[in-house]
Amino acid sequence: MLVLLATAFITYLTTPIARYAALRFGFMATVRDRDVHDRPIPRLGGLAMVAGLLAGLSLASQLPLISNVFKDGSQIRALLAGAGILVLLGVIDDKWSIDGPVKLAGQTLAAAVMASQGISLIWLPLPFIQGTLSLDPLTGVLLTVLIVLITVNAVNFVDGLDGLAAGVVGLGAAAFFAYSYLLSVEFGFSRATLPTLISALLVGMTLGFLPHNMFPARVFMGDTGSMLIGLMLAACAITLTGQTDPGALELTSVLPSFLLILLPLAVIAVPLFDLALAVMRRTRRGANIFTPDKEHLHHRLLERGHSHRRAVMLMYAGTALLAFATVSTAFIPFLYSLSALIAGLASLIYFGRRRDPKKVVVA
């Protein structure tokens, strides 16, 4: 919690500096047909997240209960190497708008560097047959790259309303934190310490940035920020699912085979669903999958008459419902979690279908 709060504090303090730099050097999000903002907005907020990340890691390295993560250091270096490549790519894209294929190539490079240096899948739990699939190094790296690409682009696609991407990722990271903290602290699995740290850093980064990014936003995170937090969310999933031994957890009551696979999917379900719909929609039309449009989930909520804030809150609610209903099975009986999930989904559908009587008109 100390690392989380320090990360949030530094991110919050440095966001105005990043905003000033964006204004000074012309890193502006102009108004396009698919956008919902009606004036140019500075979009270099991701650099403040980088500052929060580095501050949080510096503090964590000095704390005795977390310092074992830094003894080898290879995984921290792997995370920073992948993040550094994506931050550089994001800064270039925020200034000059890189083509989709070029951006995808850069993301692949970042994911491959991170995977080759230590953050990659070692095995996959197979919950339905109560087994574990060991992965050879090449397969582990390839699957890791695929997971990173899917997560980074899912977060990038959902970054369409003020505060949306930061809030969705922050909620997902909080769910990761709850479960990985349970494994690393309550059950003593040292391999779960790294995902606990990464998720705490990610929650802090998003919490510190959100006050500046909520509607009406004063600054955007840009691709610098969205790709960074997407990479870190993927790193949480990879280090929790693919590097925690499911066999060793069978003696606990944490339902490892169930959660180690389902939790990462639940955390990213909303952005992943939006990404899948976008790919299918553009493929069906014969268009390039990188061609932007105005038919994402958040655009559809606005079209139904919801205000900007209400649309964001509905997507927050969907993410929190799926993520925390899943992770709650580690703490309460499964039937209780399932009942809460069904009730929550019914409420979400009801409020999602209603038109907001106090709709704010957004250009």
- Measured at the CA of 329, the angle between CA 326 and CA 330, to 5 degrees, comes to 115
Tally the residues of the chain: 363
- pLDDT given at position 293: 83
pLDDT bin (cut points 50, 70, 90) of residue 331 is confident
The 10 Å Cβ neighbour count of residue 294 is 15
The 10 Å Cβ neighbour count of residue 93 is 20
Best CA proximity match to 166, nearest among 138, 198, 204: 204
- pLDDT given at position 361: 42
Distance CA 337, CA 325 (A): 5
Is the pLDDT score of 16 beyond 80? yes
Contact 220, 29 (CB under 8 A): yes
- pLDDT given at position 251: 46
- pLDDT given at position 362: 41
pLDDT bin (cut points 50, 70, 90) of residue 355 is low
- pLDDT given at position 131: 63
Give the CA radius of gyration of the chain: 20
By mean pLDDT, which of 250-254, 315-319, 333-337 is the weakest? 250-254
Contact 327, 274 (CB under 8 A): no
Is the pLDDT score of 363 beyond 60? no
Best CA proximity match to 29, nearest among 266, 181, 223: 223
Across the chain, what does the average pLDDT equal?
88
Q: Which residues pair with 191 in a beta bridge?
A: none
Is the pLDDT score of 10 beyond 80? yes
Is the pLDDT score of 356 beyond 80? no
Summarised one tens digit per residue, pLDDT across range 88-115 is 999 999 999 999 899 999 999 999 999 9
Summarised one tens digit per residue, pLDDT across range 214-229 is 999 999 999 999 999 9
Over range 79-90, report the average pLDDT: 98
pLDDT bin (cut points 50, 70, 90) of residue 65 is confident
- Measured at the CA of 43, the angle between CA 210 and CA 212, to 5 degrees, comes to 25
Is the pLDDT score of 207 beyond 90? yes
Q: Residue 241 is encoded by which pair of tokens?
A: 């699912």
Is the pLDDT score of 360 beyond 50? no
By mean pLDDT, which of 57-66, 171-180, 288-297, 348-357 is the weakest? 348-357
